[in-house]
Amino acid sequence: MISVEVKNGSLLDVQNLNVTYKSTMFRVDAVKDVSITMNKGECIAIVGESGSGKSTLAMAVMKLLPPYATVTADKIMFNGVDILKVNDKELAKIRGKDVTVIFQDPISYLNPIISVGDQMIESLSSHNDKITKKEAYEQAIDLLKKVRIADPERILKMYPFQLSGGMAQRVFIAMAVSANPKLLIADEPTTALDLTIQAQILKLLNSLRKEFNLSIMLITHDLGLASYIADRIYVMFNGKVVEEDLAEGIFSQPVHPYTQMLIASSQAIYHGRTRELSKTISDMGKVEKGKKACDFADRCAKSSEACYNEPQLVKYDGTKKVRCWLVE
């Protein structure tokens, strides 16, 4: 792990972010009062199950959510720029250049009727006015080689639907690092890929991180992946952060019952201790479902009367913050 100076939030500072999806048919509070910070060169992971709001959080930071999502926050500062106040043109300059995003299922995030080469060249030209098409082409070849694609010329001629998932993700990563960004947001980059490819992609991300001094925000449901690359981890449940700490702290001393459950489950699966797994799957919380309470209470084995009130996120022991009555 690369150690970092705790100059809190020098790269990214998000305070009290709220995101609500609203339409005529439904209303979902996807992210509730979440604050995260990142320092230059740091790598964080946001871990949670589906519906925890982690992807929404990542997209919200760069205002990439659809119009039916309402985003409010006290502060979103990226690299000194106030994202909340900046206009669209300025934002477009930052995106792709200082902040880039890679997505789950990369093939669907590429334009299906334009060749890979044309899309890469377009990306390269958009952040460098003076580059010629030929130069961009050469650069694209170099980038593809850098992400360990063996036959770049052939790939550039292809269309997205002709690529494999792993290949497409590499192309995406190549485009993402092309402008030497400060922050790479990776939204479940390996979830849709085969297990062996997953490892490759993560190794690639790690090496690129060292080579470019890149900060990475990894969104994932897999604590194992998070442990591989993250300096600090935020655990999210139901739109809120329930525990945040340095990576070692999360694994050596998980405090929130949900975190403990996550760790126990992944260990049980990895080590074949499935009997222990059943102990962790608890939907027999002692709190009645439906009554206003801590979000996790009805799945929590350690719930009690106190859990009928919503706990706050508080500091606990140095770098850790936890949202649970067990610590308050």
Cα→Cα distances 64→16, 83, 268, Å: 18, 12, 37
For another protein, the closer CB: 126 or 267: 126
- CA dist 173 and 200 (Å) reads 12
**DSSP-based three-state secondary structure for 275:** helix
Task: Kindly state whether residue 16 participates in binding another protein, applying the rule CB under 8 A.
Answer: no
Give the count of beta carbons closer than 10 Å to the beta carbon of residue 190: 24
Task: Kindly state whether residue 109 participates in binding another protein, applying the rule CB under 8 A.
Answer: yes
Whether residue 116 contacts residue 110, with contact meaning beta carbons closer than 8 Å, is answered with yes
Classify residue 95 by its DSSP letter.
Answer: B
Among 3, 8, 50, 66, binds another protein (CB under 8 A): 66
Task: Kindly state whether residue 114 participates in binding another protein, applying the rule CB under 8 A.
Answer: yes
Among 79, 115, 206, 266, binds another protein (CB under 8 A): 115
Task: Kindly state whether residue 117 participates in binding another protein, applying the rule CB under 8 A.
Answer: no
For another protein, the closer CB: 176 or 293: 176
Task: Kindly state whether residue 28 participates in binding another protein, applying the rule CB under 8 A.
Answer: no
For another protein, the closer CB: 120 or 307: 120
Number of continuous H segments (helices) and E segments (strands) in the chain = 11, 13
Among 72, 161, 203, 289, binds another protein (CB under 8 A): 161
- CA dist 175 and 164 (Å) reads 17
Q: What is the DSSP string of 182-215?
A: SEEEEESTTTTS-HHHHHHHHHHHHHHHHHHT-E
For another protein, the closer CB: 91 or 264: 91
Min dist CB 111 to another protein, Å, is: 5
Residues that bind another protein in the complex, under the rule CB under 8 A:
24-25, 59, 62, 64, 66, 88, 92-97, 100-101, 103, 105, 108-115, 122-123, 126-127, 159, 161-162, 175
